[in-house]
Structure 1
């Protein structure tokens, strides 16, 4: 083959960076609305969590940069520096915020989440709410319940007419 001849385009398979249209289910109506509101509630909870703990951590932030977090004590009471670090910057609030924005964008674009996302979030949040209280896990459980219900509504077959 010479330099001037063009090669036929090769298929990239399933790793082309695009999801196939068969993998994406549309989400409409009440399921879409519930998903949007669940995502908004998750976003608000994450923002409140981060601002609350970062506001309380103003006395400990200096210790984060001086190496106080490197030598973790093996037993006993953890210093306040650790508590504020693991309750704010190192908590699940930032990853949950990112997940909530992805959920919101999916719903705004009319795309349903894979139902396993809703179920895993629900199991984790209910377990955490039962074990560790008082926290924001009950709010997370409510949001995940909304997402599970929306996933259920999305998986219902379309009706041809009449009341739903």
Structure 2
């Protein structure tokens, strides 16, 4: 469950960022981004270049990839990711769903549920068949 959650988070973040850069053509504003054109801009009156930046490279996509990769890294080492990651992701996803109903938020909610279920499963004491419970 934890591995699936990690991959879903990575996939969501990567597709969001790459989709914004390509499908939404945000990358066409890269010249403005790297020329310093956004440095003096007012965020309340965003230009197309500034909006494209916050939709792509400045969005939650890159940090989501990092969170997903961290979850996978922990899982590969047999470490259960802390449940605050799942709860924070779930809360943020619910807010996103309320604000923007027509986004792929169910993917992240599924990832949060998988993380919580995986953490719960990992926290349960294991009962190994064939061993004596009273043995040292």
TM-score, scaled to structure 2:
0.81
Say whether the 8 Å CA contact 1:126–1:138 is kept in structure 2. Answer: no
Q: How far apart, CA to CA, are the structure 1 residues paired with 2:13 and 2:69?
A: 11
Q: Which structure has the bigger radius of gyration?
A: 1
Higher helix residue share: 2
> In the superposition, relative to structure 1, how do residues 154 and 71 fare at CA in structure 2: closer, same or farther (>3 Å)?
same
Q: TM-score, normalised by structure 1?
A: 0.69
Say if 2:10 and 2:68, in contact at 8 Å, map to a contact too. yes
Which ranges in structure 2 are unaligned for 5 or more consecutive residues? 130-136
Q: Which residue of 2 aligns with 1:130?
A: 98
2: CA distance, partners of 1:72 / 1:133:
29
Q: How many residues align?
A: 127
Whole-Å Cα distance in 2 between the matches of residues 123 and 53 of structure 1? Answer: 24
CA distance in 1, matches of 2:44, 2:62: 28
- Asked whether 1:93 is paired with 2:64, we answer no
Aligned counterparts of 1:75 and 1:147: Cα–Cα separation in 2: 36
Gapped runs of 5+ residues in structure 1? Answer: 1-33
Aligned-residue CA RMSD (Å)? 1.9
Runs of 4+ in 1 over 4 A off after TM superposition: none
